[in-house]
């Protein structure tokens, strides 16, 4: 049977051997939710980069630029980190260069893996289907918040484990913990996520609408994956 493990923060990803594995990167609020939304709405590709400077360079080469730091859009870039800004008609067929506080870091720390998939509640069953067809052990890599674990990414990990059911073996305690957390909160997911530390940080910026959207299941039947440094579907 294939194994599934959960890394609760990029601070611990060095403890996992990612070689020959499928890694699902998740940053529910809001990087991976926005990536799924953008590719679901017709973006041709998303290029995650670590720094604001790299992102600015992409802007000079025809990319739409998306930059977020500490929950806010960075001045001088086209868009921020709200999934709603990825739905605009004029983005169709375009490429976006993106840099965020947590999500893009988690991607860059997953490069050793065979497959890097982008997960969110918005595409969770599509991700589950893909994992069933891949002949790989799985690590769910939670982006967290500046190194700390967070509720929303852990809840996603637990939900994905719950969906995959008996087809994967839970080999590490973090997978058991994530599943248990999801089972405890699946009937009040929005309320739980809205009370998370990160949601409270975001609430200052008036983005409750984003949070409501980011806990919706299966709005998109796509699985973004990394190929040659760009996310495509």
Residue 47 binds a second copy (CB under 8 A): no
Residue 174 binds a second copy (CB under 8 A): yes
Residue with tokens 């918005």: 122
Rounded Cα distance, 160 and 218, in Å: 12
Member of 20, 173, 191, 212 binding a second copy (CB under 8 A): 173
Classify 66 as helix, strand or coil: strand
Member of 101, 196, 210, 223 binding a second copy (CB under 8 A): 196
Member of 1, 15, 93, 166 binding a second copy (CB under 8 A): 15
Member of 34, 65, 102, 150 binding a second copy (CB under 8 A): 150
Q: Least distance (Å) from a second copy to the CB of residue 76? A: 29
Residue 137 binds a second copy (CB under 8 A): no
Q: Least distance (Å) from a second copy to the CB of residue 231? A: 26
Residue 151 binds a second copy (CB under 8 A): yes
Rank residues 21 and 198 by Cβ distance to a second copy and give the closer one: 198
Torsion over CA of 232, 13, 170 and 220, rounded to 10 degrees?
A: -20
Of 135, 134, 154, 91, the residue nearest 225 (C-alpha) = 134
Residue 146 binds a second copy (CB under 8 A): yes
Phi then psi for residue 98, to 5 deg, are: -130, 140
User: In sequence order, which residues have a C-beta less than 8 Å from that of residue 28 and are 6 or more positions away?
Assistant: 120, 121, 152, 153, 155, 156, 193, 214, 215
Rounded Cα distance, 52 and 72, in Å: 13
What does the binding site for a second copy look like in residue numbers (CB under 8 A)? 8-9, 11-12, 15, 145-151, 154, 171-174, 176-177, 180-181, 183-185, 195-198
């Amino acid at each position: 049977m294939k194994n599934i493990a959960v890394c609760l923060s990029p601070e611990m990803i060095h403890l996992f051997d990612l070689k020959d594995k499928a890694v699902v990167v998740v940053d529910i609020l809001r990087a991976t939710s926005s990536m799924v939304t953008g590719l679901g709405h017709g973006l041709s590709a998303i290029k995650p980069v670590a720094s604001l400077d790299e992102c600015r360079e992409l802007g000079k080469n025809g990319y739409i630029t998306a930059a977020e730091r500490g929950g806010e859009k960075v001045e001088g870039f086209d868009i921020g980190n709200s999934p709603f800004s990825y739905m605009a008609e004029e983005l169709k067929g375009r490429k976006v260069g993106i840099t965020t506080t947590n999500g893009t870091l988690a991607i860059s720390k997953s490069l050793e893996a065979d497959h890097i998939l982008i997960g969110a509640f918005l595409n969770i069953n599509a991700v589950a289907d893909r994992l069933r067809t891949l002949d790989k052990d799985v690590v769910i890599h939670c982006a967290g918040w500046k190194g700390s674990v967070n509720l929303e990414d852990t809840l996603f990990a637990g939900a994905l484990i719950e969906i995959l059911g008996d087809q994967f073996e839970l080999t590490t305690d973090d997978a058991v913990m994530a599943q248990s957390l999801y089972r405890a909160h699946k009937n009040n997911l929005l309320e739980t996520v809205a009370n998370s530390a990160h949601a409270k940080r975001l609430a200052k910026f008036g983005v409750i609408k984003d949070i409501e959207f980011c806990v919706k299941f299966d709005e998109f039947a796509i699985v973004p994956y990394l190929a040659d440094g760009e996310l495509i579907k």
